[in-house]
Amino acid sequence: KVHGVKETKEYFIPSFSQRLDVLDREKTLFVQGTTHIIKPVFSFEKVKKYSLFFLPQQYWEITSGLYVSDALKNAMQKMKLTGVDFENTTVL
């Protein structure tokens, strides 16, 4: 719960219990000689079963960026959820 001056709001943060294998490692751009991702490219075959997934990074249990399917994005927009922004990513 986040307490403001005049109100208290309840927020939810998804947490994950296992790291996912979702990248197309041949097409993802990494910092040379490291596992640090510059530009992720997701494998369609790996992500098609997920409505919500995250970038495999060092701190993946509670991540700052989430990826959603078009179906989930459309449902969220239909429900007029606030505080959510969407941008495209690469899936091959």
pLDDT of residue 54: 87
Rounded Cα distance, 47 and 8, in Å = 36
Rounded Cα distance, 18 and 53, in Å = 11
pLDDT of residue 49: 92
pLDDT of residue 61: 64
Residues of the chain with pLDDT under 50: none
pLDDT of residue 56: 79
pLDDT of residue 57: 72
pTM: predicted TM-score of the whole model, two decimal places:
0.73
